[in-house]
Amino acid sequence: MSASAQLPLDLPAVVPVFPLGGAVLLPGGALPLNIFEPRYLTLIGDAMAGDRMIGIVQPRDSGPQFGADAEDVPALFGVGALGRITEFAETPDGRYLIVLSGVIRFHVGRERKVDTPYRQVEADYEPYLADLGDPVAIEADARAGVEAALKVYLDANGLSADWEAVAQADDDALVRTLAAVCPFEPVEKQALLEAADLPARADMLVALMRFAPGVAEMPSTMLQ
């Protein structure tokens, strides 16, 4: 079934989180998820019974841990994204297939001590309220730079693209899609998430594609 994609009037002060490495959910973007682990089945069930909001935050590999009394609790990056469940389906074997629509980024605050099997953190949205408005436009040459870097990146990896679809995609959709699907390292995905605005994210995306393995080793004349 599909859920309403309406923007909430009030953002939750405490957010249940799904730690997910290598994933980035940007405002206006969509993240499909296949939920099967019991603690996250509970999370999604509780969210569906409430405001349908959950947070996507990447776990860190090292550093101070939240909830350090639990051995299997990884520390989290300091910025995550609030998503609203806009599609939900249950499979015969008990999994949930959902789509999260990105609403706004948030600073990850203090982790609450809770009885739920999933984690909950306090969220500070203040630095990211601009996410609720229209994205800042990028210049035409910046857009051309994204497409040029994408072509080199795909060629270096033996991949292809539907260039008609690329050309028709608006700037925000193109950058969001590439940030989500390109196999960057988690710390690189986090940098894309934390970029100040669309122009900054586009610049970072170009840099990541140009310095990706396989691309960086190409002759400089091929990178023009």
**CATH code for the domain of 78:** 2.30.130.40
- Per-residue pLDDT at 123 exceeds 70: yes
In 3D space, the residue among 35, 65, 38 whose CA is nearest the CA of residue 56 turns out to be 35
Note whether residue 7 is domain-resident.
Answer: no
Name the residue with tokens 């569906």.
48
Cβ(11)–Cβ(74) under 8 Å?
no
Q: What is the pLDDT of residues 179-197, one digit of tens each?
A: 999 999 999 999 999 999 9
146 and 200, same structural domain? yes
d(CA 198, CA 45): 33
Residue 52 zone, left/alpha/beta (φ > 0; ψ -120 to 50; rest): left
Neighbour tally for 68: CB within 10 Å: 10
Question: Quick one: pLDDT at residue 73?
Answer: 76
d(CA 56, CA 40): 12
Note whether residue 72 is domain-resident.
Answer: yes
Domain boundary among 75, 97, 132: 132
Question: Quick one: pLDDT at residue 116?
Answer: 96
More confident residue, 94 or 216: 94
Percent of the chain topping pLDDT 90? 78
**Structural domain span for residue 68:** 14-132
169 and 153, same structural domain? yes
Question: Quick one: pLDDT at residue 63?
Answer: 43
Note whether residue 125 is domain-resident.
Answer: yes
Mean pLDDT value across residues 115-137 = 95
Whether the CA torsion 127, 129, 132, 134 is positive or negative: it is negative
Number of domains the chain contains: 2
205 and 153, same structural domain? yes
- Per-residue pLDDT at 7 exceeds 50: no
Mean pLDDT value across residues 155-178 = 93
Structure tokens at 78: 């300091």
- β-pairing verdict for 119-124 and 79-90: unpaired
120 and 212, same structural domain? no
Question: Quick one: pLDDT at residue 71?
Answer: 53
Confidence of residue 141 (pLDDT cuts 50, 70, 90): very high
- Per-residue pLDDT at 9 exceeds 90: no
Structure tokens at 25: 């959910």
207 SS3 class:
helix
Interhelix angle for 198-210 vs 171-181, to 10°?
Answer: 40
Question: Quick one: pLDDT at residue 221?
Answer: 44
Note whether residue 45 is domain-resident.
Answer: yes
Residues in contact with 115: Cβ distance below 8 Å, sequence separation at least 6, in sequence order: none
H helices present in the chain, as ranges: 38-49, 140-156, 163-168, 171-181, 186-194, 198-210
In 3D space, the residue among 174, 183, 205, 24 whose CA is nearest the CA of residue 163 turns out to be 174
Question: Quick one: pLDDT at residue 216?
Answer: 57
H-run or E-run covering 119:
strand 119-124
d(CA 149, CA 158): 14
Question: Quick one: pLDDT at residue 157?
Answer: 85
Mean pLDDT value across residues 133-161 = 93
Confidence of residue 220 (pLDDT cuts 50, 70, 90): very low
**What's this model's pTM, rounded to 2 decimal places?**
0.86
Domain boundary among 105, 132, 159: 132
- Per-residue pLDDT at 159 exceeds 90: no
Q: What is the pLDDT of residues 35-80, one digit of tens each?
A: 999 999 999 999 999 999 999 999 987 444 444 344 567 899 999 9
Cβ(27)–Cβ(81) under 8 Å?
yes
Confidence of residue 4 (pLDDT cuts 50, 70, 90): very low
